Structure 1
Amino acid sequence: MPRNVEMKAKIGDLEALLKTAQQLCNGAEPEVLHQHDTFFNATNGRLKIREFADLATQKSEIIFYDRPDSKEAKISDFLKVNVENAGLLKQVLDMAIGTKGELKKKRSLFIYGQTRIHVDEVEGLGNFVELEVCLNDEQGLQTGQLIADDLLQKLGVSKSDLLSGAYIDALPASCK
């Protein structure tokens, strides 16, 4: 199962963070993704269907991931599978286990070494940066945490702004 180390933080100055991330990535423009995530009531980990609103292929995927809710760096084990009929699959999962909630976000994706930098604008919640350090088979939490901590410092993100949990957990009930 693929693994990465993740950290997430609230950001105040979206434009400054985007500029810094772009500078770190040698001026590369981010890939901008408009994502609609539907979360389901999974008994283990988290389960969601992600739909990409702006791709001509109408790509969608179902994603299972399991990670602790911690402000510190954490290992996330995950599986992703492409789906062709997201609407029907959402209906089936809603009938079987229930829908927990939905959220929409604009994600600016940068790649820095082995790390995916997500600068997220989440509807109803605000602006965030999420780091995903993609681990190889020989790497563990400690290595991933060192990489993430270094990158957070380079991005100017304070440890006091780190968050635990998923965006869906922070959304007010009226927005889910």
Structure 2
Amino acid sequence: MKQYEIEIKLFVKNLKQLIQDLKTLGFQKEVLKREEDVYFYSRHYDIKKRDEALRIRKSTNLMTNQIKTQLNFKGPKLDKISMSRKELEIEIENASIMEEILQNLDFEKAASVCKTRQYMRRNDITACIDQVENLGNFLELEILAESKDQKEKSLKRIEGILENLGYSMEDTTQKSYLSMLMNQEK
């Protein structure tokens, strides 16, 4: 069971060029999804202060219209440069009932993030090209790992891909889409 998501994120100016460059590097298109994330917070448990996230994600496969819903927990970031963190997720049958359970435990909806996500893959590396409503276009590169000991090696591999795409680790951000959207509202 892979629990650690070794990940970087960066803003992309030219989406078509990025997709072409990823194909040149051997990435192949997989599924195209519409993802709607609802994030939760609690007055009794400061998720933001702990640098954690709790969300319900509804994913719609835009090729088959199949819908999948998950409850996700993301732990604190593991370093000061990447989005790497422990992630736990479980498929749930009914998002409304899960929301009600969370609300009965004093969790409230914080905000929502909606995006269209093109998944591309090369071996164990996933490239997610995200078109995030009200934010723009982003690339996430991630490797799933069984332990955080694999983080440095995985980040080096990701850094090599970034360089081949004409980017560097300095171009990446540690801000979540949720944080970016909430900062826009202020």
TM bucket, shorter chain: 0.7 to 0.9
Match of residue 51, structure 1, among 58, 63, 70: 58
User: Partner of 1:156: helix, strand, or coil?
Assistant: coil
Q: How big is the shift at 1:23?
A: 2.3
User: Partner of 2:152: helix, strand, or coil?
Assistant: helix
Q: How big is the shift at 1:156?
A: 2.1
What is the alpha-carbon distance in structure 2 between the residues aligned to residue 34 and residue 52 of structure 1?
A: 6
What is the alpha-carbon distance in structure 1 between the residues aligned to residue 53 and residue 94 of structure 2?
A: 20
Q: Which structure 2 residues correspond to residues 125-144 of structure 1 after superposition, within 5 A?
A: 125-137=135-147, 139-144=149-154
Is 1:93 the equivalent of 2:102?
A: yes
Partner of 1:154: 164
Flag the 1:174–1:13 CA change in 2: closer, same or farther, 3 A. Answer: closer
Q: Which structure 2 residues correspond to residues 21-170 of structure 1 after superposition, within 5 A?
A: 21-25=22-26, 28-41=28-41, 43=47, 44=50, 45-54=52-61, 56-68=65-77, 72-95=81-104, 96-137=106-147, 139-170=149-180
Asked if the contact 2:60/2:66 (under 8 Å) is kept, the reply is no
Deviations 1:124-165 (A, max 9, x none): 011111111122459522101111101111222243421112
Q: TM-score scaled by structure 2? A: 0.82
Count of aligned pairs between the two proteins: 174
Deviations 1:43-87 (A, max 9, x none): 351111110134544210111111328661353111110011012
Q: TM-score scaled by structure 1? A: 0.86
What is the alpha-carbon distance in structure 1 between the residues aligned to residue 85 and residue 148 of structure 2?
A: 16
- CA RMSD in angstroms comes to 2.4
Flag the 1:140–1:86 CA change in 2: closer, same or farther, 3 A. Answer: same
What is the alpha-carbon distance in structure 2 between the residues aligned to residue 140 and residue 102 of structure 1?
A: 31
Moved more, 98-107 or 154-163: 154-163
User: What are structure 1's unaligned runs of at least 5 residues?
Assistant: none
Is 1:18 the equivalent of 2:19?
A: yes
User: What are structure 2's unaligned runs of at least 5 residues?
Assistant: none
What is the alpha-carbon distance in structure 1 between the residues aligned to residue 84 and residue 78 of structure 2?
A: 10
Asked if the contact 1:5/1:144 (under 8 Å) is kept, the reply is yes
What is the alpha-carbon distance in structure 1 between the residues aligned to residue 174 and residue 74 of structure 2?
A: 15
User: Partner of 2:29: helix, strand, or coil?
Assistant: coil
Identity %: 21
